[in-house]
Structure 1
């Protein structure tokens, strides 16, 4: 009997990146129930091809993907399949990754951990240099959209232990950031970022 896949920590406020071969999957776990995980995917052979929310929304005809949907690149190809989702399924594709400029606008005078820098740091950890930050798929981030088009900062609808499984449709790199946002309630009403976890699942 094969051993269970290893569970790996995604530390609060930090980023990690992993390589997947075609057919493997990553299970991302909302350990404490209210942590947003900004998520990116890049073609492992050419990182200028990446998961693109703009292209994905056009392909899916909706604002966020659901179980069974392909996640689409800027070359309009599936890079991942959203294979499993135990949460209510509310994930954001509208909001850019936070950055130091964003926190400056929110009133921070000193440097603040942010998802953009977490992406670059996570990619460097596996020997890949990135210069740009594509718009991430913000797992569990709840951005209500009103009929008049206005948006608001909702609390996550997920619960402790909810998982999303993303199955690779090509050799790719998946990067994640446990969002450090602690000034708005996107990581829960108490505005405290927490750890998440992930594991690599073998080819199905």
Structure 2
């Protein structure tokens, strides 16, 4: 098992093969994470997880355990195999970006969009397209009966985790979301961790 620490407000990238398990862990509890998944050949990534295509494929806002996330080419890329958290996650909200923080009066603030490109660059990879809508683990954005969205603080506890199985060779990027102007993460920012197990072994 390999473990990669994701410091608060930053992101890290890991490469995994088909059948590998990836566990995203909320180390201290209450921290939202943006998860991105890409596939492609060489240094340039060309295909990515798509929230919209996943919702269309599963007929729900977020996969249940045993269901898959798919790419913009409608191919399964990750399957949710275990969730020890309260099970509140999101695929409606885009990654925070410089324009979001400028609108909130905080230009220059770190963002998940910038974190993604930094993490890929540090790993020697590039993605030139628009930032994909992420898998927002531990993020609570319930939809009311009137269709309005509520921005609630994450309820995940220390050590809570989601475990994903890679359905193809891919690159996973996890950003410990730096959003501290809207209180989606509890009690400030805290780290996440990525555990990977090759060939579908048990990450415990």
TM-score range, shorter chain: over 0.9
Q: Does 1:20 align with 2:16?
A: yes
Residue 99 of structure 1 and its aligned partner are, at CA, apart by: 0.6
For 2:146, the equivalent position in structure 1 comes to 148
Residue 139 of structure 1 and its aligned partner are, at CA, apart by: 0.5
Structure 1: state its 5+ residue gaps: none
Structure 1 contact 30–196 (Cα < 8 Å) conserved: yes
Q: 2:25 aligns with which of 15, 25, 29?
A: 29
Output the CA distance in 1 between the equivalents of 2:31 and 2:156: 9
Residue 158 of structure 1 and its aligned partner are, at CA, apart by: 1.3
Cα RMSD for the two superposed structures: 1.1
For 2:191, the equivalent position in structure 1 comes to 195
Inter-CA distance 15–171: structure 2 relative to 1 (3 Å threshold)? same
Alignment TM-score, normalising by the size of structure 1: 0.93
Runs (4+) off by over 3 Å: none
For 2:118, the equivalent position in structure 1 comes to 121
Aligned residues: 197
- SS of 1:164's partner is strand
The farther-off stretch of 41-50 and 54-63 is 41-50
Residues 72-110 of structure 1, C-alpha deviation per residue, up to 9 Å, x if partnerless? 1111110011111101211110000001110111111x3
Alignment TM-score, normalising by the size of structure 2: 0.93
Residue 181 of structure 1 and its aligned partner are, at CA, apart by: 0.4
Q: 2:67 aligns with which of 66, 69, 73?
A: 69
Output the CA distance in 1 between the equivalents of 2:76 and 2:45: 14
Q: Does 1:93 align with 2:91?
A: yes
Inter-CA distance 171–6: structure 2 relative to 1 (3 Å threshold)? closer
Residue 174 of structure 1 and its aligned partner are, at CA, apart by: 0.5
- SS of 1:167's partner is strand
